Structure 1
Amino acid sequence: MSSIALLIPILGVSIPIVAIVGGIGSKIFTRWADLKEKQLGITATIAGEQAAQYAAKIERLEAHVAVLNRIVTDKGTGLSEEIEALRTPAPKLPLN
C-alpha cells in the first residue's frame, strides 16, 4: 500500500511536467520546421540564380564557337598563316 501511496504524488507532479515539456517541444519543432523551410527557399533561389548565370555563360560560349566556326570555314586558306603569326612573339616596345 505504501508504494501506491508514493506513486500518486509522483504521477500528480509528472503529468503537468510532461504536458509542459510536450508543449514546449512542439513549439521548438514548429520553429525548427519554419527555419528549414526558409533555408530551402534560400537554397532554391541561389540555385536558380546560378542556373541563370550558367545559361548566360553557355550562350556566350556558343556565340564564340559560332564565330570560330565561321572563321574556319570562310578563311580556310589563310588560317594557318594567321595562326603562325600569333605564335611569334610580339616585339617588345620601350616603356618610355
Structure 2
Amino acid sequence: MSFPFAAFAPVAVIVGALVVGGWVLTTWLRIKHGYPLDGAWGQAVYPKTDDAAMERIKLLSQENAQLRAELGSIKDRLANVERIVTDSSHILDQEIEKLRSPRN
C-alpha cells in the first residue's frame, strides 16, 4: 500500500500559500510602520538614510542635548537644596542674613 500523494498535494499547496501570504503580510506591515527590512542574517537590506530620517536624528540629538543641560541644572539645584537641609541652622541663618544686608 502506497501513500496517496494526490490527497496530500492540495494540503501542501494551501500550507505553502499561507506561508508565502504570511511573509508578504509581515513584510508589508514592517514597511508600513517604518521598520527596516532584514536580510537572511539580520543585516539591514534598505537602511533609512533619506533626508527625513537625517533631520529626525538631528532634532533628536538637539533635544537630547537640551535635556542633558536641563538635567545638569536640576542636579545643581538639588545639590543646593541638600546642602541647605544638611547644614546646621546657625550657618544657614548667617547666609540668609548676608543676603538680606545691603551691599556697598
* Fold conserved between structures, TM > 0.5: no
TM normalised by structure 2 equals 0.40
Question: Hey, which of these two has a bigger chunk of helix by percent?
Answer: 1
